[in-house]
Every structure is written in structure tokens, then in C-alpha cells.
Amino acid sequence: QVQLVESGGGLVQPGGSLRLSCAASGFTFSIYYMSWYRQAPGKERELVAGISSRGSTNYADSVKGRFTISRDNAKNTVYLQMNSLKSEDTAVYYCKTSQLAKDFWGQGTQVTVSS
């Protein structure tokens, strides 16, 4: 079955960096679009970044120039490098894939940006 396991979250000061990882299993990772979402307290879940099977990427305007999504098909892993973090980046970050019109989510990893 499809499994997505995020890791790499934590507490970081404003201006700092974190790299999130999402380890995938149970499907042919290399052919599927992968994405990162986040959900802050009291807010709706929002798309942060996505990457196609060929490596094409897209980003939310709020993270362009600061975040980078990448994938390693040999390791079945998608990454989110987050630089110049701001307090408004504080959220639970989720990894997602969609197959046959069904969405699969990881359990999420907390990112807290605070001094």
C-alpha cells in the first residue's frame, strides 16, 4: 500500500534553514507527481511546491526563491529545502501523491519558526 513518511521538521530561528524529506513506498515512485503542502493553525491546507516525474517544479508565490523541491528516484524520496525561513512558514508540512483520483498523505512533520 502507498506510504509516505515525512521527516526533518523542527524548531528553527527566523532566517534559518531546514530540509524536509518524504520517503515513499508501495508504488512506482518515479512516475508520479509529488507535492508538499502545509497547514498552519486555523488555516486551510495549502500547496507549497510540486515536482513532476521529469523534474519540472512549481511553487506557491509565498515560497518562491526560498524553497526548493527535489526528488531522488533511486531513493524513492522527495525533499523540500527551506531557506530564509519566516515565522509565517510555521505549519505542519505534508507530503502528497495522487493516484487513480485518490490522494495519499503522509502523517506530517511540524516546522516551527521562532526566536
Q: Phi and psi for 70 in degrees, rounded to 5?
A: -150, 170
Give the pLDDT mean for 21-29.
Answer: 97
Give per-residue pLDDT as tens, 36-52. 999 999 999 999 999 99
Q: CA 111 to CA 12: how far, in whole Å?
A: 8
Q: What is the dihedral of CA 78, 105, 5, 97, to 10 degrees?
A: -30
Give per-residue pLDDT as tens, 50-105. 999 999 999 999 999 999 999 999 999 999 999 999 999 999 999 999 988 899 99
SS3 24: strand
How many C-beta atoms surround the C-beta of residue 14 within 10 A? 13
With b for 16 or more beta-carbon neighbours within 10 A and e for fewer, the 22-61 pattern comes to bbbeebebeebebbbbbeeeeeeeeebbbbeeeeeeebee
Q: How far is CA 112 from CA 4, 18, 22, 83, 93, in A?
A: 21, 10, 18, 13, 10
